[in-house]
Structure 1
Amino acid sequence: MKNEERVVIAGGGLAGLRAGERLRELGFRGEIVIVSAERHLPYHRPALSKEAINGELVASDLRLTISRELDAVWRLGTAATHLEPDRRVVGLPGGEELRYDGLIIATGVEPRHLAGAPRQDPRIHVLRTVDDAIAIKQAINSTQGLVVVVGGGLIGCEMAASVKTMGRDVAIVSRSSTLLGSAVGKNIADTVTEAHRVRGVRMAMGVKIRHWVRQAGGVAIHLSDGQVFFAAVVVIAVGASPSVAWLRGSGLVLEDGVLCEPTCHVVGGSDVVAAGDVARWPNLRFGGQPRRVEHWLNAVEMGRAAAENLLAGRENSRPFTPVPRFWTEQYGMRIQGSGLPAMGTDTTTLAGSQKDHRTITGFISDGRLVGMVGLDAPTAMIKLSTELWRQNRVTASGPQRRPPQHVPHTAAPQDAPRSVAPAQVAPAPAPVAAAPSRPRESVRFEAPRTRSVPTRSEQSQRFEAVRSEALRLENALLREAATRVEAARSDPGPTRTQFSDPVELPRLPRQQQESQPLPLPPSHAPVVRSRGQGRSLARTGPRARPR
């Protein structure tokens, strides 16, 4: 086996972490270097605007568990400065050059600047990192005046709700007439807006900021409707921009993120993939228009898919075609979304309750359900998700089979040439509408063995046991989904669902329920395309290198 191969992951967030773990699961034995501008190991970012602000969690509680199998070199506090794809080099501060055989771009996003805002003022904050959250919390605890949140999106609303639960006076300034805009539909947006208003949140909706006046006791914010808010603390939450400045001059397409093919391979790059918030790719399940998806679960799934396709090579890669999901919680109300609601040109009520505010809004495009958002309706969202998958099948994609698996074998003698038997590729099965997951067949590379495979360590055996259990659970869920689809076909029922009486469901702690690992699909032959030629790099299975 050759250990000099190196995969560089630019970005130390969730997408980069899951990509690195997936490389090891698939048997990559070379070096993994993770370059991160942050000085912290990966942490639970959705909690920054909620539990980290109101004090339910401290910074150490947010840290994500990192598998010991990852065995990566972490370059924390080191931002990538430039990329030279022709030389396969990532530039680092001080003129350092980091060579790679494969590159995963996962640098995420950075807070968008609000024109005219005096960002140099210590009372004006943005929220993206755990350090930002700590600074905001300290500023709130050390002042007594009004806290102004600029922005009425998911982060802005979560921030305002968290500050209000701390007993502080808070105001929201938004250019939209309702909170959350068109992201959740009018019914849910009106409910959320009213929830903030009845709790005493001061609302300035449909306005623009005309002037910022910095004074000794605070910052005066003059609005277009004549109102003036005198703020002790200001949090700007007006969206985010892809972190691509370090890629300028690389030859990659960087309009609204890193442009990728459906398989996550970066357009204009060789052996380069992208994942997470920074990646803009055509999801063939939803029309194939390149888009970015800034959701936590998408970072998990895309990081893993990008790692798989980097190892499989461009020709053998499968398109990444997820159904995105997101969530938010404010004042105990839980909002869950699925699909791409932004694609919808019309909305309809898929489910509703006559007793309370629970509802599900469907988003329609060309007569097809492309997204749905539910308010306090988790059970109904699960039931209706099958219909969302059914109406958005992948119609134009690359190969739908899994890349071949690799049978570990020992290295041949040094004087003998390395040889791998040709892959026997089985025909791809016909798509099954009842199961929206990817095909499960596997094809194996068979090669001669000169001696038995070494016994795995106890740690690797535990890892394999967890993997097997995840596969078993995944298969059970697929069978259940297939049963539901068949039942729906035989008895479609009404198009509008009425909820039953509320049922108290068991709830995991937030950090656990939103960081659950995904089921692991079967491993396949990890192959990295080498420079200038089509050789495959040697692998020996998912064992971690000795420490």
Structure 2
Amino acid sequence: MRTVTVVGASLAGLYAARELRAQGFDGRLVIVGEERHRPYDRPPLSKDFLSGRADEDQLALCDAEEETDLAAQWLLATRAHGFDAGGRTLLLDNGRTLGTDGLVIATGASARRLPGTSGLAGVHTLRTLDDACALRDALSGGARRVVVIGGGFIGAETASSCVSLGHDVTVVEAAPLPLVPQLGPEMAGVCAALHRRGGAELITGTGVSRLLGRGAVTAVELTDGRVLPADLVVVGIGAVPNTGWLAGSALLLGDGVLCDDGCVTALPQVVAVGDVARVGGLRAEHWTSATEQPAVAVRNLLAGRTVDSARPLPYFWSDQYGSRIQFAGQRHEGDTVRVVEGSTDEGSFLCLYEHQGRTTAVLAVDRPKPFLRARRELARPATRPPDLGPGPAPPPPPVTAGH
């Protein structure tokens, strides 16, 4: 291959570019990124960056020396609009076309928007650096009444940061408990208690009917009729994979770009990695997936066929109200949960999810060393549980903390 193009200049795209050079590709490397920024780390956006403990330069994922070593052509603030598989050509938003022999799709996902909020000031999402800058500025002018819509990891981390800055925070979650698909009802209830312990109000089991205000948001009306005064609203209701630009490309799409176990798509010399990739039936919006998939994807891209598979043990973490939540594995319906260290009452514990005598997942709150040991044990091939999922059916909504 003379030219390989990576579409997406975030974590997965950068790791793919690194792997291309590390695995011996010495041809032309082009990196296309919709954002104007060089690759940056997203997990701190809802935590240290939002709370002011980290600045933009501390988020950078590569420095000038590495950029020189990559010897890549960077096309930033440039959006891909289509891919002509027959002509091996990318269509870009500035009218340019870009020929390529190989393609790595790493376009990630975008924050899901709340309908009817377009043009209403004071309504924020938190997915990109520009999002985080706008929200941080909005939080800097004194105490605000903040309503966070969505109790997932992004919502919980944002709420935690807002509380630490002295704001009055209410989290609204439509489900009976946040994070049930990921943690199950028992442990979801334990983690939900972190909100109240941390100083935020948590309202569950009701959705949002509409946002009130003319020009700027003033309140959130819930489906049960309650009205919550709000100076700022943060919408954290999940993310949508960025696949619209690939419509008509002959790639198989469905909650992401469909790939085999090696990140290889239906088109030759095209692979997908990160939040946009549905690998082996599963799309996982985790930091670890974005960093581990590229090595396998690039190996298969350069080989021209699937010679390796990418099925790492799922892992994510979240920092909320001074506590660190860590989870590895995959919970299934019917798993039993057993606390093996600490206790849920004291707020520091390690628990195992088990199915028919085998451990399927491990969860810890403020138990980093025991968790690391349990995660390593779970990752051992001899002890890895079989995939107990329902096959090719879509999985529960992915974790969107970017971890």
TM-score in terms of structure 1 length = 0.67
Residues in 1 aligned to 2:102 and 2:369: alpha-carbon distance in whole angstroms: 42
- Secondary structure of 1:183's counterpart equals helix
Residues in 2 aligned to 1:246 and 1:393: alpha-carbon distance in whole angstroms: 37
Which structure features the higher share of strand residues? 2
- Secondary structure of 2:305's counterpart equals coil
Aligned to 2:113: 113
* C-alpha contact (below 8 Å) 1:344/1:371 kept by paired residues: no
Aligned to 2:223: 224
Aligned to 1:77: 77
- Is 2:358 aligned against 1:360? no
Which residue identity lines up with residue 88 of structure 1 in the other structure? R
Describe how 1:3-152 pairs up with structure 2 within 5 A: 5-66=2-63, 67=66, 68-114=68-114, 116-142=115-141, 144-152=143-151
Describe how 1:146-185 pairs up with structure 2 within 5 A: 146-185=145-184
Residues in 2 aligned to 1:324 and 1:348: alpha-carbon distance in whole angstroms: 18
Describe how 1:119-518 pairs up with structure 2 within 5 A: 119-142=118-141, 144-215=143-214, 218-267=217-266, 269-282=267-280, 290-314=281-305, 317-341=307-331, 343-354=332-343, 356-365=346-355, 368-389=358-379, 390-392=382-384
> For residues 294-325 of structure 1, what are the alpha-carbon distances to aligned partners after superposition, in whole Å with 9 as ceiling and x for unaligned?
0011101112221122112205x111121121
Superposition deviation, residue 174 in structure 1: 0.6
Which residue identity lines up with residue 5 of structure 2 in the other structure? V
Superposition deviation, residue 215 in structure 1: 3.7
Describe how 1:528-539 pairs up with structure 2 within 5 A: none
Superposition deviation, residue 187 in structure 1: 4.3
Superposition deviation, residue 365 in structure 1: 4.9
* C-alpha contact (below 8 Å) 1:157/1:179 kept by paired residues: no
* C-alpha contact (below 8 Å) 2:358/2:385 kept by paired residues: no
Residues in 1 aligned to 2:376 and 2:37: alpha-carbon distance in whole angstroms: 38
Count of aligned residue pairs for this structure pair: 383
Residues in 2 aligned to 1:382 and 1:295: alpha-carbon distance in whole angstroms: 17
Superposition deviation, residue 229 in structure 1: 0.9
Q: Which runs of 5+ in 1 are unaligned?
A: 283-289, 396-513, 516-547
Residues in 2 aligned to 1:134 and 1:304: alpha-carbon distance in whole angstroms: 32
The percentage of aligned residue pairs carrying the same residue is 37
Which residue identity lines up with residue 334 of structure 1 in the other structure? R
Instruction: Classify 1:376/1:194 alpha carbon distance in 2 versus 1 (closer, same or farther; 3 Å).
Output: same
Q: Which runs of 5+ in 2 are unaligned?
A: 388-401
* C-alpha contact (below 8 Å) 1:10/1:106 kept by paired residues: yes
Superposition deviation, residue 353 in structure 1: 1.5
- Secondary structure of 1:384's counterpart equals helix
Residues in 2 aligned to 1:336 and 1:130: alpha-carbon distance in whole angstroms: 24
| RMSD (Å) for aligned C-alpha atoms | 2.1
Residues in 1 aligned to 2:42 and 2:255: alpha-carbon distance in whole angstroms: 22
Superposition deviation, residue 195 in structure 1: 2.4
Residues in 1 aligned to 2:180 and 2:337: alpha-carbon distance in whole angstroms: 16
Residues in 1 aligned to 2:310 and 2:215: alpha-carbon distance in whole angstroms: 52
Superposition deviation, residue 222 in structure 1: 1.0
Instruction: Classify 1:277/1:215 alpha carbon distance in 2 versus 1 (closer, same or farther; 3 Å).
Output: same
* C-alpha contact (below 8 Å) 1:5/1:101 kept by paired residues: yes
> For residues 310-349 of structure 1, what are the alpha-carbon distances to aligned partners after superposition, in whole Å with 9 as ceiling and x for unaligned?
112205x1111211211111122111111223x3432311
> For residues 364-406 of structure 1, what are the alpha-carbon distances to aligned partners after superposition, in whole Å with 9 as ceiling and x for unaligned?
45654332221112222222224423332789xxxxxxxxxxx
Aligned to 1:510: none
Instruction: Classify 1:394/1:310 alpha carbon distance in 2 versus 1 (closer, same or farther; 3 Å).
Output: farther
Aligned to 1:489: none
